[in-house]
Chain A
């Protein structure tokens, strides 16, 4: 089973709201990722967690706050977002951070910021 689940599937929020995106995997993977994807563009890496510790933050604004409560869960907390943050947010996981390991993606959360 190579399933990564994400909730919610869709989210609409105002610029003053606080919301969270959730991601879960039960493959025993120790690396988890958040990506942002705009229409007709490839995914862009935001954050990487390795063994529950944040290892990469790709200069993402502080209005995005990741959290890894345990090895199976990954959250992305959203606060005071801008309309340009509207995008498909993808979670992925891999066995570890080795470059040759395959990343498996979840179905994504479609976010609309009004």
Chain B
């Protein structure tokens, strides 16, 4: 149980385009999902907390107009990187909070974004 999927697993796009990444909880409902960014050989940095039906809460220094987060249902959150630039290239990982199972975050497999 507690499986989280992400799509796509890899994406390459041109500078200036927008990219949407999906995060789904497959076998449970997640009222809260989290988006992280991970640079090579570094730890995970929380970008934002996404609550179903409400606006996301962004961490300090994260541009909310650049990283659009939508959590329209209890099983789906999306991260859209708008007007992507090469410096946005990174590994993006989502997690979903599981209530009633020790209140733990379960992570998706990640999405590798490369902006040319």
Q: Is B truly associated with A?
A: no
The interface of chain B, by Cβ under 8 A from chain A, is none
